[in-house]
Amino acid sequence: IGFTRLAQKENVPEKTKAEYLKKAEMSGVLLLDLINDTLTISKVNSGKMELRLQPCRAIDLLTTVTAPIRESAEKKNIKFTTDFTAIIDEYIAADKLNVEKIFLNLLTNAVKYTPEGGHVWYKAVRDKEGDGKVWFTFIVKDDGIGISSEFLPHIYEPFSQEKRAGYESMGTGLGLSIVKELVNLMGGSISVESVKDKGTEFTVKLSFVKVNPAEDTEDKNEERVK
């Protein structure tokens, strides 16, 4: 609001107005993220978050989030590498938006906390299949600033952010809390390995029911949420 008011003042150079408006936009985006993330956490904690399972291609869960991540990586001269060679063309029942939210959060953090010229990797492996289900392992890795051993046990706590020089106020502090809650809701697991100033690696394991493209997944939805 303050930057918007400054931009509306008379005798402000156009270049300065543009800077004010850009900062106003960034502040607005951060506020919107904070509201959305807070609502998501509130929904999960109150037990009102439900998975909406629909048939989707397994590869689509991976590729949809790569475009915006690749764009933000290029802006920081970060090399973004993906490896989906172990994924076959099959349909699974998944809450596509919330699965994408998990990896969008992890990958956004990886780019955010990796200095210019660094690397971010995104890999998916199809582990096994049985009883109508298929198991996957997803890996998000970077060679960024890492997480200290003292802070590592607190990374999933809401509004928790490690104070690092040059990386102040870079998010809501709710992203990893949401990731953890969504992974738990899907019956999966998440683990992390990190070394300060060396990088971080998140490993997410999820299982999905195999379906035909036209199959109704409402019953599966109720069963998996219980």
Sequential DSSP letters for 182-207: HHHHTT-EEEEEEETTTEEEEEEEEE
Residue 220 — very low, low, confident or very high, per pLDDT cuts 50/70/90?
very low
The whole-model pTM stands at 0.79
Instruction: Please report, to the nearest 10 degrees, the dihedral formed by the alpha carbons of residues 83, 86, 91, 93 taken in order.
Output: -70
Span 140-171, pLDDT tens digits: 999 999 999 999 999 998 878 777 776 655 56
Residue 113 — very low, low, confident or very high, per pLDDT cuts 50/70/90?
very high
Q: Is the pLDDT of residue 205 over 90?
A: yes
Residues near 7 by Cβ (< 8 Å), separated by ≥ 6?
17, 20, 21, 24
Residue 122: its H or E element: strand 119-130
* Rounded Cα distance, 127 and 223, in Å: 23
Q: What are phi and psi of 123, to 5 degrees?
A: -130, 145
